[in-house]
Amino acid sequence: MNYRISHRAASLAPSLTLVIDSKAKQMKAAGEDVVGFGAGEPDFDTPQHIKDAAVKALADGFTKYTPSSGIPELREEIAKKFKVENGLTYKPSQVIVSCGGKHSCYNVILAVCGEGDEVIIPAPYWLSYPEMVKLAGGTPVILPTSDQTEFKVTPEQLRAAITPRTRLFILNSPSNPTGAVYTREEIKALGDICVEHGVLIMSDEIYEKLVYDGAAHTSVAAFSQAHYDHTIIVHGFAKAWSMTGWRLGFLAAPEPIAKAIDAIQSHSTSNPTSFAQKGAVVALSGSQEHLPKWLAEYAKRRSYAHQRLNAMPGISCVNAKGAFYLFPNISALGLKSIDFCARLLDEQKVAAVPGIAFGAEGYLRISYATSLANIEKGLNRLETFARQLAGK
């Protein structure tokens, strides 16, 4: 039988991280002492009051279909969040709850990007963006950045990449995988260019609350009515409330785009899980006491890891201002990032994600969403490995 895979599905890049990830899991299962720096999710548990709300919803029989774009009380809580925290006015009808922030991203791209449209994506990027653009029939246009600019794209770069086919610019600040946080001025400069050229912005703000050193998050939608009209905000519950497995994300968009996404979602996934949505209402409306504790813990780990990485031969690392990742430069050690990570796992039993998976050769992604004790152990091993490679 010749299973002919559609050309869109066949165009997807196989996940480079999968090889290392599945090997790390195998080694762990075999009882080996692997230190994992690969996690893309918080190591904290979902706060209890959020779990209680979902359990109660289940017990109360809240187990049926809901409106496909989410229950009204959750869409209202989300609209309230944007008003109070970001100064942005959205009607609940402009808010769509989806099955994870990733699903929200995919909905946005499907809604605005058609055959032959170009989508500008700064690299290092979250690895799903370009693949989603390809699935929608569009063309990803990658703008490389480096640690020299703290992994931020410049207004000149963005301007030069815009063509008559450019439909969307993807901005992710704070960033996965680099932890970069654009300043208010930098965001405005990029937003101004998009407004000037009629390019839409998908602003992935899922790490909004995970910022350090007094860095502040600014939404590009907040600068003016024109910025608001050009922006679709993607957000979710995965990171700041540690709800990755709940599969709940949301987006806020100008009305016609929200309407199109509502239609897409109603014909694909229908609603996100009913009782999970009840938990999410409480995530927004209930106590946020967990967050300062998590932030203090992340900040401690980040400082420790940043300082340790920079003390290793052949490794340099800009300090991240947000999220829970560091993106050290390993290019001086002379290995391709994929070979570096394969050998690091083999020889030192440390799992990290190669930069090339995010479109940036010469780097690694280190997630510090793991205990300080693990971080210390893993970095000791990484240091041994770096010393060997550097001959020191």
Ligand X SMILES: *Cc1c(COP(=O)(O)O)cnc(C)c1O
Residue 244 or 329 having the CB closest to ligand X:
244
Say how far apart CA 19 and CA 267 lie, in whole Å. Answer: 34
Does residue 204 interact with ligand X by CB under 6 A? yes
Residue showing tokens 């390809």: 134
222: Cβ contacts below 8 Å, ≥ 6 apart = 86, 87, 88, 228
Residue 185 C-beta: closest distance to ligand X, Å: 22
Cα-Cα-Cα-Cα dihedral sign, residues 44, 49, 55, 58: negative
Q: Is residue 202 at the binding interface for ligand X, with CB under 6 A as the rule?
A: no
CB of 332 to ligand X, least distance (A): 28
Given the complex with ligand X, which of 42 and 92 has the nearer CB atom?
Answer: 42
Q: Does 42 bind ligand X (CB under 6 A)?
A: no
130 binds ligand X (CB under 6 A): no
**Residue 222 backbone dihedrals phi, psi, to 5 degrees:** -85, -5
Position among 136, 206, 233, 281 found at the interface with ligand X (CB under 6 A): 206
Binding of residue 244 to ligand X (CB under 6 A): yes
The stretch near ligand X (CB under 6 A) out of 133-141, 156-164, 232-240, 290-298 is 232-240
Q: Which range of residues in 17-25, 60-68, 146-154, 234-242 is near ligand X by CB under 6 A?
A: 234-242
Q: DSSP secondary-structure letter at 3?
A: -
Q: Is there binding between residue 277 and ligand X (CB under 6 A)?
A: no
Q: How many residues are listed for the chain in this entry?
A: 392
Q: Does 367 bind ligand X (CB under 6 A)?
A: no
For 103, phi then psi, to 5°, come to: -65, -35
User: Binding to ligand X by residue 272, rule CB under 6 A?
Assistant: no
Cα–Cα distances in angstroms (integers) from residue 348 to residues 33, 266, 377, 378, 381, in the given order:
10, 48, 11, 9, 6
- C-alpha–C-alpha distance, residues 179 and 183, integer Å: 13
Contact flag: residue 101 with ligand X (CB under 6 A):
yes
Closer CB to ligand X, 198 or 245, in the complex: 245
Residue type present at position 312: M
Residue 118, SS3? strand
Which positions touch ligand X (CB under 6 A)? 40, 100-102, 126, 172, 176, 204, 206, 236, 238-239, 244, 249
